[in-house]
Amino acid sequence: MQRDAIPLPVAHETALSAFQIDQLSLQMGHKTILQSVNTVIPRGSLCVLIGPNGAGKSTLLRHLAGLLPPQQGEVMYHGQPVTQLKARQRAQQIAWVGQHPPSDCSLSIEDFVMLGRRPHLGRFALPKADDRQRVQQALQALELTALAGQRYQQASGGERQRAVIAQALAQDTPTLLLDEPTNHLDLRHRQILMQRLFALTARGKTVVAVLHDLELAAKYADWLVLLHQGRVLRAGPPACVLDSEALSIAYDWPIRVVQESHGWRFDVLHEVNHVKASA
């Protein structure tokens, strides 16, 4: 299959943005990871970064979190360069969930989730009633209440993943960044997680997540950023991003997008049939 990577329109949000990314580029050796990324992420949105492996999704998310300083370009958070935020200030504003949960923590799950309250406590301060309440709410949201006393390191992979996300929920920041948060989760807990994240945006919080599941992204996101070879191919509401041409270019494979009354469907086509149909 031969396709030209034609430029596709990038939608821009006129409302206040949580993040403004301008000319963000990253080169590692001879490999270009991000190339002139320009996009916005609206405040109060559930934004999902989609695209194939190696498209730059996780790298972009790390830049949003301030974990990677821009090599070129700038990432603004609420109008301020994210790298100018001090560590504690950033932790009070942005909660981060990486791809790989820790595996060697000997704390109970409840105490592990309580670590999310550290940015709001003084150096020697003990948790107060409000801190304990937020931890209980986070445990309940991820269905971990019955496991609160269990050692984190004895939990299953899915339970650890939920505990890490619960810790971020307990952190109670205006913005939540999650890198492939549905990893290790079963079908039920994937849906529960996405419902909880969507509910956060109804309270004015901004959520940005990397997902590989297009159907899950289409169902819950109100803003999408489609990345391809380190560039933003399209960005905007799902209806502006999810079409057959854009996804086929991004994934280098024919994809047919069907919007039905109950949601989106993504048909991965057989290459040979696509070639015959295009001949």
3-state SS, residue 5 = coil
The rounded distance, in Å, linking the Cα atoms of 255 and 249 is 9
Report pTM: 0.91
Measured on CA atoms in the order 38, 43, 45, 47, is the torsion positive or negative?
Answer: positive
pLDDT at 10 (0 to 100)? 44
The rounded distance, in Å, linking the Cα atoms of 144 and 139 is 5
pLDDT, tens digit, 9 for 90 and up, residues 161-182? 999 999 999 999 999 999 999 9
pLDDT, tens digit, 9 for 90 and up, residues 174-228? 999 999 999 999 999 999 999 999 999 999 999 999 999 999 999 999 999 999 9
pLDDT, tens digit, 9 for 90 and up, residues 124-141? 789 999 999 999 999 999
pLDDT at 103 (0 to 100)? 83
**Residue 270 backbone dihedrals phi, psi, to 5 degrees:** -80, 130
**Does residue 5 surpass a pLDDT of 70?**
no
pLDDT at 279 (0 to 100)? 39
User: Which residue would you say has higher pLDDT here, 52 or 278?
Assistant: 52
Element (H, E) at 73: strand 72-77
What are the helix (H) ranges across the chain? 57-64, 87-93, 109-114, 129-141, 157-171, 187-202, 214-220, 238-241, 244-251, 271-278
Length of the chain: 279
User: Which residue would you say has higher pLDDT here, 271 or 53?
Assistant: 53
- Domains annotated for the chain, with CATH where assigned, are 17-100+175-192+200-278 (3.40.50.300)
pLDDT band at 15 (very low <50, low <70, confident <90, very high): low
Helix, strand, coil tally for the chain in percent (to 5): 40, 30, 35
pLDDT at 96 (0 to 100)? 98
pLDDT at 273 (0 to 100)? 52
**Residue 202 backbone dihedrals phi, psi, to 5 degrees:** -65, -20
The rounded distance, in Å, linking the Cα atoms of 219 and 242 is 12
3-state secondary structure 176-214: EEEECCCCCCCHHHHHHHHHHHHHHHHCCCEEEEECCCH
User: Which residue would you say has higher pLDDT here, 70 or 279?
Assistant: 70
CB atoms within 10 A of CB 179: 20
pLDDT-above-90 percentage for the chain: 85
